[in-house]
Amino acid sequence: MKYSTTLLPLVATASAIVIPDEATAKQLILDVKQQTEETVSTWWDALPSFDDALSSAHNVLDDAIRIAENKAGELSEDTSLITDFLSTSDYNNGPHHGPPGHSTNLTVYQSIHASNYTKRFAALIDDFPDLVDKLNSTSGGNVTVLVPTDRAFERIPDHHKGHKPPKEFIEKLIQYHVLPGFYPAGRVLTHHTLPTAYEEEALGGRPQRLRVSVGLSGVRMNFFGKIIYANLVTKNGVVHGLDHILVPPPPIETLISLFPTKFSTLSLAAGKTGFGHHHNSSGKKYLTGITLFAPTNLAFKKLGPGANAFLFNTEKGLHYLKALLAYHVVVNETLYSDEYYGKKGSDSLLNMRCDEIESADDVNDKDQTTGKGVKHFHIDLPTLLGDKHIAVDITRWYGFIRIKLNGHVPVTIQDGVAKDGVIQVVDSVLIPPHKHKGSWNADVDGDIPVEELIERLSPFVADEEVGEL
């Protein structure tokens, strides 16, 4: 799912930075759509079950750590791992007490400048004194930087060169590669998402996040950029090398439109009902993050032909379709698999961070047979459908996380990070529980009769209790 690195233009060096106009940017999206679809489909089909993940956790994580720490061969035909980020003289002599990798007495900033692999990114940083100070300071706390190599900048198409992007854009892009805190490879692998130094207004000024994926080819950020060098421990943090530039993600609506083979029915439903086109419109309360539980085309198919014909092909049905969509949207609360951004001004964050377990050795100390080390979290999220909530249960074991909604609907793709929130993908349409009948489970109950759908949704349609974005 490499949308985060290809939807927007990338940047070149400070002397030859480019950003296409809106029309060119849209064409870029069209150019990468097919390749993006294939990438997502491959990953989608390869998803392991939670039980399978538990049984093979140690092997998968050990392999990923070895790859991240430069103990494997090439990751792809055009990207190989970096053996020596710095020259020999810049490394510390003798053993060090940090994670496996290398260590240096240089700061993060000095290390990026000293490396022969990251000259272009170093040149970008120099235009921002505050960032220089942040990456050079030994008193302001540790920082982690995911540094795109010079090879990553060479991926920028030639026809984008010649237009200098706004300085503000470059600053945000650099911030999106900086993680406040110390995140060596072992700690990165215990997270599904990571906070960056880029504070997103659409999230209420909270950190925009990166998505971490672990696979046989190594560790990817936002499903695309690979870590090709890991664990240069510096005087004030740690540095990892990337083979692609990371670009802050676009809004949820844009992401959904990029995957028609997965979400064309959802897009059609939003278009027919006008739902989802009122972001921050006049008179609306400013949003501070959205959680979209996005039903796939398969999810709508499970409703059955009768329900779909009613929802999409009748004037009455469109009102019920709008209500159904409203039940999939949570506003002002952004729920990632391992972090929760509550309402603006609220400090009631769930204790869902993965920091309790820092390494595979810690997991070995847990008695898995008795359930020790497995953590469970529950939260009820308010939707735009009147007073109806979605019950969310999260089970975490080390870096493996399972999310179930209303007791039976699994989230099949977690943490599609977006500018204005997060997408959690579901393969069943969420239907509001009935006060006497409970939840409708398509995998057990089959097609939902039109009469049943009307009964569950009619109170909200009649009372016009469907909220607007």
Last residue of a domain, which of 222, 242, 262? Answer: 242
Measured CA to CA, the distance from residue 70 to residue 101 in angstroms comes to: 8
Q: Do 222 and 299 share a domain, yes or no? A: no
CA angle 235, 241, 244 (to 5 degrees): 145
Neighbours of 433 (CB within 10 A): 17
Of 202-206, 230-234, 344-348, 455-459, the least confident: 344-348
**Helices 129-136 & 167-175, crossing angle to 10 degrees?**
20
Among residues 242, 266, 289, which one ends one of the domains? 242
Q: What angle do CA 145, 149, 152 make, to 5 degrees?
A: 120
Task: For the chain, give the number of residues.
Answer: 469
Query: Do residues 349 and 207 both lie within one domain?
Result: no
Q: What is the CATH number of the domain that holds 195?
A: 2.30.180.10
Helices and strands of the chain, counted as H and E runs? 18, 17
The answer as to whether 98 is a domain residue is: yes
- Please name the residue that has the structure tokens 């939807």: 7
Are 214 and 64 contacting, i.e. CB atoms less than 8 angstroms apart? Answer: yes
Q: What is the mean pLDDT of residues 147-153?
A: 92
* 247 within a domain of the structure (yes/no): no
Do 228 and 274 lie in one domain? The reply is: no
The answer for residues whose C-beta is within 8 angstroms of residue 214's C-beta and 6 or more apart is 60, 61, 64, 189, 220, 399
Give how far Cα 200 sits from Cα of 132, 197, 203, 296, Å.
21, 9, 5, 27
274 and 230 co-located in one domain: no
pLDDT tens digits along 192-235? 999 999 999 999 999 999 999 887 778 899 888 899 999 999 99
When divided into structural domains, the chain yields a total of 2
- Is 344 found in the same domain as 300? yes
pLDDT band at 463 (very low <50, low <70, confident <90, very high): low
Residue that finishes a domain, picked among 213, 242, 271: 242
Could you tell me if residue 359 is inside a domain?
yes
Q: Is 245 helix (H, G, I), strand (E, B) or coil?
A: coil
Same domain assignment for residues 233 and 306: no
Is a pLDDT exceeding 70 seen at residue 354?
A: no
Residues 182 and 284 occupy one common structural domain: no
Q: Are residues 174 and 260 both part of a single domain?
A: no
For residue 395, the enclosing domain spans 252-462
| Residue 404 confidence (pLDDT) above 50 | yes
pLDDT bracket for residue 87 (50, 70, 90):
confident
d(CA 227, CA 66): 12
Q: How far apart, in whole angstroms, are the C-alpha atoms of residue 469 and residue 384? A: 8
* One-letter amino acid for residue 274 of the chain: G
**CA dihedral of residues 176, 181, 184, 190 (deg, nearest 10):** -90
Asked whether the predicted pLDDT for residue 33 surpasses 50, the reply is no
Instruction: Write down the H helix ranges in 233-314.
Output: 252-257, 260-273, 297-302, 305-313
Tell me which DSSP letter residue 320 carries. Answer: H
Residues 213 and 237 in one domain: yes
Same domain, 87 and 189: yes
Q: Report how far residue 329's alpha carbon sits from residue 384's, in angstroms, rounded to the nearest whole number.
A: 6
